[in-house]
Structure 1
Amino acid sequence: MSNRTAEEIRGGRVMSTQMQFDKALQHERDIEANFWESQAPKVAGLGVSVADPESVHGPGETQRAINWLGMLDRYAQSVDQRVKMAGWMETFAQRGGQLVIHGAAVSDLDFFAGRYDLVLVAAGKGELVSMFERDASRSPYDAPQRALAVSYVHGLGPRPETPDTESVRCNLVPGVGELFVMPCLTTSGRCDILFWEGIPGGPLDVFQGIKDPGEHLAKTLELMEEFTPWEYARATKVELTDANGTLSGRYAPTVRKPVGRLPGGGAVLGVADVVVANDPITGQGSNSASRCAAAYTAAILERGEEPFDEAWMQQTFDRFWDFVQHTTKWTNAMLAPPPEHILNLIGAAGELQPVADRFANGFADPSDFEEYFYEPEKTEAYLKSVTGG
């Protein structure tokens, strides 16, 4: 059940940024739903630039203190969710699924819970999400940590240092926010996404009142010229992919309890962002959603003829949480001002390619950060092991 048709989604506003790494892409290959893999840019690396705080004082004058590119073991890809969700809905119907176009309310779920073995809820916001209780023990933030502003563009030039390598760029501006630049496949072909994450109340938190897409892009470029002139230099000829190619907003990163209880006594199971909505600073949303779908599917198949009761729902979520807890921990850590040992690690990656590569591949498997990221002692030991010191 969807409140929009496939055509309405395809012709509507962009819904997100997304970058899927190999494990998430593999889930789509496994069920033969990877329709766009041959068309989408194959992202081979992930780069980090850090603006020198001392040089941030005027358009074009900001310098980079750190700049490196880590190489991924296997490529990543980004497909505009307008393309992907619309295509999947059509395929679902073609493969025999019943697709109902109707905005679901709690009363609908009450009805379905009595008629179906299992009801799953995948919603971004609104009445349905409010059925799921916030898990305070897993949600350290109760307010948005970034103001988000997205532009999908054509015409971005290649990166001068690595013109032949498709890569995601993470540009960190200390005390201000982050700019992410990523290749993508959209409704009109290959494009790039320019994505500002601004600290609330800071100089990047200026998109709330902007309704005009052209004005949104102009503000994006103006901020790039001031804070990331090395990216602005290749963006002087960009234009929006379409009139719906911008998005802005903010939300508090939240983990919710997986079982939603209905007025009639039934229960429903939350999926993906309903239960784990991390900030997009680490680009993990679509990866986590894919993992969630794969974990739930496996649990459904294993259940056989047994009922999908509340205990099973909790166990099924716990299985997903075993993986996604690492994503949540890392994402929340990246929202905070970096401690000295993390700055040292990011700096070392500029001198030591194995460190850059390992950090890049952590986006594909965030559990690896447990080994060397959070504790200064582990970071120091890891860097010594790489340098032989």
Structure 2
Amino acid sequence: MRKILVVGAGQSGLQLALGLQSNGYEVTLMSNRTADEIRTGRVMSTQCMFHTALQHERDLQLNFWESQAPKIEGLGVSVAGPGSWGEGPAARAIDWLGHLDGFAQSVDQRVKMAGWMETFAQRGGQLVIHGAAVGDLDYFSRTYDLVLVSAGKGELVQMFGRDPERSPYSEPQRALAVSYVHGMGPRPEHPDTEAVRCNLVPGVGELFVMPCLTTSGRADILFWEGIPGGPLDVFDGVKDPAEHLSLTLGLMEKYTPWEYARAREVELTDAGGVLSGRYAPTVRNPVGRLPGGGLVLGVADVVVANDPITGQGSNSAAKCAAAYLASILEHGDKEFDEDWMRATFDRYWATAQHVTKWTNAMLAPPPEHILGLIGAAGQLPPVADRFANGFNDPADFENFFYEPEKTAAYLAEVSGA
């Protein structure tokens, strides 16, 4: 029986550990927190997962919360009118809703990771509660056939060098602020459709609103992405959750009054229901070299960390776990050497590269043809639907998004021009 160590108990680490376990591998999982500490701690992300990522969970029969979590059937885009918030409420220059081919869902990672971790232990997995350091991995690399590092923060990440060719940004491109709330009303124009709402405020940032399942049941997530140094970049150092929510709502009232109108009565789900921070989008070398000469393979956002502006973090983590699991199973009892590690990462990068390209494009001011595309989606429902489904399959953006000629040809085809 092959012995594998997974360091880090997030979406990718746990999905991979449970997948390997169900295929007869002897798996040890290291987490710096217990399941109870995760469940009662602070929210960790917004984790809206689209059809392909959810299917990876279903394939492993890990979709424990599918019947409870809201089924997100649409993705809407609203764009605030240019400068209109300076003289009163911001009008919407663009507003539309695209329909997803397969529903999306957001399950608070405190619920999912705690539940999955308990399942792993119940199924006989070796669960070690310990914050791993490089020295620990140096020791463990001699006793395991393969060590996978899926803990995306701290000193372990430093083992994986930044890939400058694939990492155009060296600084954070957004300041992030998340609030989980109860009491959010529906959008009056689509009261019966659960949808992710992407509100773009040119030159300022973005507000995302999405339904989710949290520790206290159904909730909504309010998520600001602010351009650093701009008017949304006000959450650093805010320790009081109530103050965090108050700031969030004040910014909504000023920049996205149509969303504020349904948020007047909201309350935080719990004291741990807020999160803020920032990080630079980075692609790293997938193979980490330990002081004793051992090798470890980086997983998910350890090696490909994108800004959450396109909501791809948990989706990418699920896709990475699925790709790595397939590579491990196919490899049989052969040695997990450096060539295998690089080939395994390349298999994941085949899909991840499209996520990175699209996300980095969305962080930059949109060129004229993209503004035209987003505007046209308001008159042409097939365009809105295709854009919405790109969140599930970002590779499709190659066909109609980046190049003005392809965008024009696509719009002409859809409009019958």
Give the counterpart letter for 1:85 in structure 2: M
Q: 2: distance between equivalents of 1:296 and 1:97?
A: 19
Match of 1:297 among 325, 331, 335: 325
| RMSD of Structure 2 on Structure 1 (CA) | 0.6
Contact 1:154 1:191 in 2 (8 A): yes
Q: Determine helix, strand or coil for the equivalent of 1:201.
A: coil
Give the counterpart letter for 1:40 in structure 2: A
Q: 2: distance between equivalents of 1:217 and 1:378?
A: 42
Contact 1:183 1:191 in 2 (8 A): yes
1:14 match? 43
What is the correspondence of 1:150-229 to structure 2 with a 5 Å cutoff?
150-229=178-257
Contact 1:78 1:185 in 2 (8 A): yes
Match status 1:256 vs 2:320? no
Q: Determine helix, strand or coil for the equivalent of 1:128.
A: helix
Q: Determine helix, strand or coil for the equivalent of 1:114.
A: coil
1:56 match? 85
| Cα displacement (A) at 1:124 | 2.2
Give the counterpart letter for 2:392 in structure 1: A
Give the counterpart letter for 1:159 in structure 2: R
Q: 2: distance between equivalents of 1:96 and 1:326?
A: 37
Give the counterpart letter for 2:193 in structure 1: T
2:111 match? 83
Q: Which runs of 4+ in 1 moved over 2 A?
A: none
> What are the superposed Cα offsets for residues 314-345 of structure 1, whole Å, 9 maximum, x if unpaired?
00000000011000000000000000000000
Q: Determine helix, strand or coil for the equivalent of 1:320.
A: helix
Q: Determine helix, strand or coil for the equivalent of 2:158.
A: helix
| Cα displacement (A) at 1:216 | 0.1
Contact 1:14 1:81 in 2 (8 A): yes
| Cα displacement (A) at 1:54 | 3.3
- Percentage of identical aligned residues: 79
Q: 2: distance between equivalents of 1:58 and 1:85?
A: 45
Q: Determine helix, strand or coil for the equivalent of 2:101.
A: strand
> What are the superposed Cα offsets for residues 101-135 of structure 1, whole Å, 9 maximum, x if unpaired?
11111111001110000001111211001111000
What is the correspondence of 1:344-355 to structure 2 with a 5 Å cutoff?
344-355=372-383
| Cα displacement (A) at 1:271 | 0.6
Q: 1: distance between equivalents of 2:107 and 2:305?
A: 20
| Cα displacement (A) at 1:75 | 0.2
Q: Determine helix, strand or coil for the equivalent of 1:263.
A: coil
Contact 1:14 1:246 in 2 (8 A): yes
Q: How many residues align?
A: 388
1:111 match? 139
Give the counterpart letter for 1:32 in structure 2: Q
| Gap runs ≥5 in structure 2 | 1-29
The normalised TM-score by structure 1 is 0.99
Give the counterpart letter for 2:371 in structure 1: L
2:61 match? 32
> What are the superposed Cα offsets for residues 122-159 of structure 1, whole Å, 9 maximum, x if unpaired?
11211001111000010000000000000000000011
1:375 match? 403
> What are the superposed Cα offsets for residues 148-174 of structure 1, whole Å, 9 maximum, x if unpaired?
000000000011000000000000000
Q: Determine helix, strand or coil for the equivalent of 2:288.
A: strand
| Cα displacement (A) at 1:96 | 1.5
| Cα displacement (A) at 1:58 | 4.9
Match status 1:96 vs 2:103? no
Q: 2: distance between equivalents of 1:54 and 1:245?
A: 32
Q: 2: distance between equivalents of 1:384 and 1:54?
A: 30
Contact 1:4 1:101 in 2 (8 A): yes
| Gap runs ≥5 in structure 1 | none
Give the counterpart letter for 1:50 in structure 2: V
Contact 1:259 1:313 in 2 (8 A): yes
| Cα displacement (A) at 1:91 | 0.5
Give the counterpart letter for 2:328 in structure 1: I
Q: 1: distance between equivalents of 2:378 and 2:74?
A: 14
Match status 1:128 vs 2:162? no
Give the counterpart letter for 1:181 in structure 2: V
2:5 match? none
Q: Determine helix, strand or coil for the equivalent of 1:377.
A: helix
> What are the superposed Cα offsets for residues 234-263 of structure 1, whole Å, 9 maximum, x if unpaired?
000000000000000000000011001000
Match status 1:332 vs 2:360? yes
Contact 1:256 1:274 in 2 (8 A): yes
1:147 match? 175
| Cα displacement (A) at 1:382 | 0.2
Contact 1:58 1:226 in 2 (8 A): no
Match status 1:3 vs 2:38? no
Give the counterpart letter for 1:3 in structure 2: N
Q: 2: distance between equivalents of 1:56 and 1:275?
A: 39
> What are the superposed Cα offsets for residues 333-363 of structure 1, whole Å, 9 maximum, x if unpaired?
0000000000000000000000000000000
| Cα displacement (A) at 1:209 | 1.9
Q: 2: distance between equivalents of 1:222 and 1:369?
A: 34
| Cα displacement (A) at 1:56 | 1.8
Q: 2: distance between equivalents of 1:259 and 1:95?
A: 30
Q: Determine helix, strand or coil for the equivalent of 1:57.
A: helix
Q: Determine helix, strand or coil for the equivalent of 2:49.
A: coil
Q: Determine helix, strand or coil for the equivalent of 1:77.
A: strand
